Amino acid sequence: MICLDHQLIYAAQRFVTGANVHDVSGMIYRYELAVQLHNTSECQTEYKSASEADLRKFVRTMQQGLFLPSCGVGEAVSNVPEKETPCRISCARKDGLSRISIEARKHARELRELLRELEQQSQLLDTAIAAILQGEKVSR
């Protein structure tokens, strides 16, 4: 008799997102069904662990941080060589995040400058509107 690995199922459920909910649920269902079929089969055939292996691979991939949210379920970074280690991938991600962070700071500075210009123009318009309401001529 084969027992379900509830810790494996729980670990897989922790990585469910809106993008992969159907795929992960399907992997869990296939795993549970394979165990159930093995346990209820009269001939007690050899347990096929392919569905369990797929689920374990998915969980291991997610735990190692090799999964990109934009990829499909279980797709590790496809352009990373086989010999690449999680540490190197993490470093590559950190470099990418550093570049993104620098770009975000640059855009934030540009937005602050734009906001200052808009506030100055708003003050000029307020002054002009007040002058018009008082009947004065507005100089540019």
Would you give the DSSP letter of residue 9? H
Beta-carbon contacts of residue 137 (< 8 Å; ≥ 6 apart)? 131
Low-confidence ranges of the chain (pLDDT < 70): 42-48, 66-97, 136-140
Structure confidence at residue 49 (pLDDT): 81
Structure confidence at residue 86 (pLDDT): 45
DSSP string, 14-69: HT--TTTHHHHHHHHHHHHHHHHHHHH-SS-PPP--HHHHHHHHHHHHHHTT-B-T
Q: Which amino acid is at 75?
A: E
Interaxial angle between packed helices 6-14 and 50-63, expressed in degrees from 0 to 180 and rounded to the nearest 10 = 50
Facing residues of 76 across strands? 67
Structure confidence at residue 94 (pLDDT): 59
Report whether 5 contacts 52 (CB < 8 A): yes
Q: How does pLDDT run across 22-42, given as a tens digit for each residue?
A: 999 999 999 998 888 888 876
